[in-house]
Amino acid sequence: MLVMIGRGLEVAGISNAPFTIALRSLGRRKSRMTLIGLLVVLGTFLIVFGGTFATSAQIGSKQAIIGNFTGDLVLYSSKSKDLPSPFSFTTPLPPVENANGLQDWLASRNDVSKFVGIAQNYGLISVEKDGKKLDLSFLFYAVDAPRYQDTFNNLAIKTGAYFGVPGSGTEDGILLSTRQHQQYIDKYGINLQPGDKVTLLSVTGGGAVNAVPTTVRGIFDPVKYANVFDYVNYMDIGTYGKLYNFTGVAEGSLPTEMDSAFGASSDEDIFALADSAAFDTLDVDSLKVQTLTGYTMLSVKFKEGADQQAFSNALKEQGFAVKTATWDKASSFFSSIAGILQAVIVGIVLLIFLIVVFILMNTLIINILERTGEIGTYRALGADKSFVSAIFLWESLILNLAAALTGIVLSLMLIFIIGPGGISLPLIISQYLVGGGPLQMIITPGPFVFGLLLVLVVSFLATLYPTRVAVSVSPLKAMSGK
Amino acid sequence: MKSVQNNTQAHDTIIRLSDVTKEYFLGSTKVEALKGVSFEITKGEFTAIAGPSGSGKSTILNMIGCIDNPTAGHILIGGDDVSSLPDKKLTKYRRSTISFIFQSFNLIPVLNVYENIELPLLLEKGLDEKTRRERVMRLIEEVGLADRLKNKPNELSGGQRQRVAIARALVTNPLVILADEPTANLDSATGAKILELMQELNQREGTTFLFSTHDQHIMTLARRVIAIKDGLIVGDDRKGA
Ligand SMILES: Nc1ncnc2c1ncn2[C@@H]1O[C@H](COP(=O)(O)OP(=O)(O)OP(=O)(O)O)[C@@H](O)[C@H]1O
Ligand SMILES: [Mg+2]
């Protein structure tokens, strides 16, 4: 290839003498140049392989987050001041208004592949032990069970079963995480098992307590991000609605007088209601029962190639009282972990390159000082300064380009050796990075282009100063005999 | 300073030094290497600058060679004053008007014989490959190295290396070839042969040579000897011709 470059320069009418001299001079200083070459190979390898690693982690974490928590887009109440997050248990977002209408609309859209409503909240499980009542605290996602499983199939049931198919009579109840289950045993000596009847207690702002009987349906492990989400439990949305009184009369179906009476603040107003004509003539059939689902967010997955902007515009037109958050905004700090890793890798690599620059500069300067006689000779023979700088720029470019390409080839080889199985990482690292499991190495052009450009820029910069030293060598140096 | 402008020469003066001085500073001590040197070189001359070590021979050649500037005085090459030209102009003089033969040969180690001789032609743009080849091959024949075309300098003897250097100096058809002790790194027999070659080329090609030496035998081969001592010219002898 280098010979071809030389040939090309000759054809283009440019004197290729500096190139020829550079190429052959490299060969004369093999051990020193090999050392620099190896450093650049290492640097390139680190940046290309590290970059591919970080990019793969980013892709992997995006897939894991979209696939298991957020979907592509999260819809949440426009009243919410906070962004949705996987951790909003103790300060849940306000429930989404008209969630059913929203779900109907989502179901009608053909750019949406899947969606599911989720409510995050906490409550208590009331159990009896040795005649005494015990309240166990309990963080949970309340979900539309079949839809949830269809959208995020991320629970591995260890004992018992998932909520079950609708109509099977088992679709209501709770699922406990393995860690939660074990904690109840360790802390309270209570071993809840699938089939156990328990009473759920809600804890509401006003201090009111609702008690809803339910059944433990299963014990599970989270498939992804297990270390982070092992304290999260599940509840079906029906039970959740009962627990938190999310059942009421639909707005607008109640006569106005009654509506205002319900909103009354004094006893007088309430007694006045009894006298009201409306009360006597109330047509019960006209009342619509509205299930306020209590969902705090709806996760939407799009079909491939869906126009998300068009979706958002259409959503706005519908006038639902919701805001949207993309997966990365709705995943708390998780989406940034891979980005941070990438920044760290880039930082380390830049540091290595800084060292390489100094070693490279040093070696080039030593190289030049050893060759002042030769440089002086070129100048005495009438070579311009540009001829001398061309020699040293070529030397650096040839060396670093060859080393960079070697580093790239090595990275590719390693990536292919790793193969489709991916890299297995220590659990704790892979949990935070991609939610667990091996990291699939995905080849993207980014790290390769970046690595090559960086080497070229770095080698150019590292050569600038030595080249200035070289061109300042006086032709008089040709005269100082050996 | 006296004017040199109006002193036009009847015969072919190609180099003229008038009242050239050169001072070096070693810390705060001043070294007067040349204390006012004036002489002329005519086209086709074969001149030696002779003198003991430290007398200023190299200093003179370096200034004529456009690789050093005089402290005072003027140096004219082909009629042009080069005593205070910027580097770029001096480089052009070195490329097309002057050639050097060095004491240590100064061949480019990574280039073979052919390429070393061709190098000055590559610095001069606009010469096609065929012209270059013809010129290089003719000179390789002249210096008797036609069978060593592809050899690298380290595969040649000292005498052979200096022959390559002579061919390299001649390849641009320079106005003058400057040689600072061209035989100092050679044994006396080889040195004499090199000088004979230079003499031959001087006669055959009409090339002007100006070389320095402190070797008595080499001096006898010159047709003109400028003797120098302590930075001053102390003699200028021409053999009858
Ligand atoms: N770069 C320099 N710095 C200081 N002094 C110098 C320098 N170059 C030459 N000189 C001094 O100038 C004087 C003339 O030196 P020059 O090299 O011209 O002598 P030379 O006749 O060529 O001697 P030699 O036969 O040893 O080569 C000497 O005294 C020398 O020490
Ligand atoms: Mg000398």
Nearest chain A residue to B126 by CA distance is A13
Answer yes or no: do A481 and B123 touch at CB < 8 A.
Answer: no
B214 lines ligand 1 (CB under 6 A): yes
Contact B171, B121 (CB under 8 A): yes
B112 lines ligand 1 (CB under 6 A): no
Predicted TM-score of the model (pTM): 0.76
Q: Which of B58, B96, B99, B100 to mutate to test the interface with A (most CBs of A within 10 A)?
A: B100
B189 contact partners, CB below 8 Å, separation of at least 6: none
Describe the crossing of helices B113-123 and B129-142 by its angle, rounded to 10 degrees.
130
The C-alpha atoms of residue A400 and residue A454 are separated, in whole angstroms, by: 11
The C-alpha atoms of residue B164 and residue B153 are separated, in whole angstroms, by: 9
In B16-75, the residues whose Cβ lies within 8 Å of chain A are 58, 62, 65, 67-68
Higher pLDDT, A227 or A48: A48
The C-alpha atoms of residue B241 and residue B239 are separated, in whole angstroms, by: 6
What are the tokens at A1?
């290839």
Q: What is the residue whose two structure tokens read 């987050």?
A: A65
The tens digit of pLDDT for each residue in B146-190 reads: 999 999 999 999 999 999 999 999 999 999 999 999 999 999 899
Contact B83, B74 (CB under 8 A): yes
CA B231 to ligand 1 center in whole angstroms: 10
Residue A59's nearest CA partner among A345, A415, A331, A434 is A434
The C-alpha atoms of residue B211 and residue B202 are separated, in whole angstroms, by: 12
B57 lines ligand 1 (CB under 6 A): yes
The C-alpha atoms of residue A347 and residue A43 are separated, in whole angstroms, by: 12
| CATH code (residue B193) | 3.40.50.300
Cα Rg, chain A, nearest whole Å = 35
The tens digit of pLDDT for each residue in A347-386 reads: 888 888 788 888 888 888 998 999 999 999 999 999 999 9
* Among B22, B26, B30, B58, residue to substitute to test ligand 1 (most atoms within 8 Å of Cβ): B58
Answer yes or no: do B122 and A382 touch at CB < 8 A.
Answer: no
**Count of structural domains within chain B:** 1
A377 contact partners, CB below 8 Å, separation of at least 6: A475, A478, B102, B106, B108
Candidate from A284-293, A380-389, A431-440, B77-86 with smallest mean pLDDT: A284-293
Could you list the residue range(s) of the whole structural domain that residue B229 is in? 5-238
B29 lines ligand 1 (CB under 6 A): no
Residue B194's nearest CA partner among B239, B235, B143 is B143
In B65-94, the residues whose Cβ lies within 8 Å of chain A are 65, 67-68, 87-88, 91-94
**ipTM of this complex:** 0.93
The tens digit of pLDDT for each residue in A187-219 reads: 999 999 998 999 998 876 566 678 888 999 999
Task: Note residues around ion ligand 2 (Cβ under 5 angstroms).
Answer: B 58
Nearest chain A residue to B185 by CA distance is A481
Contact A172, A215 (CB under 8 A): yes
> What DSSP string describes A211-269?
EEEEEEEEEEEESSSHHHHTT-EEEEHHHHHHHTT-EEEPTTSS-HHHHHHHT--SHHH
| Helix (DSSP H) and strand (DSSP E) numbers for chain B | 7, 10
Shortest Cα distance, chain B CAs vs residue A376, angstroms: 9
> What DSSP string describes B103-155?
TT----TTS-HHHHHHHHHHHSTT--HHHHHHHHHHHHHHTT-GGGTT--GGG
What are the tokens at A457?
């820029």
Max avg pLDDT among A222-231, A290-299, B211-220: B211-220
Inform me whether the C-beta atom of residue A374 falls under 8 Å from chain B C-beta atoms.
yes
Nearest CA to ligand 1 atom 27: B53
pLDDT on residue B5: 43
3-state secondary structure of A174: strand
Inform me whether the C-beta atom of residue A380 falls under 8 Å from chain B C-beta atoms.
yes
A426 contact partners, CB below 8 Å, separation of at least 6: none
Q: What is the residue whose two structure tokens read 């641009």?
A: B172
- Report phi then psi at A422, rounded to 5: 80, 180
| Domain chopping of chain A, boundaries | 2-65+335-480, 79-250+288-320, 259-286
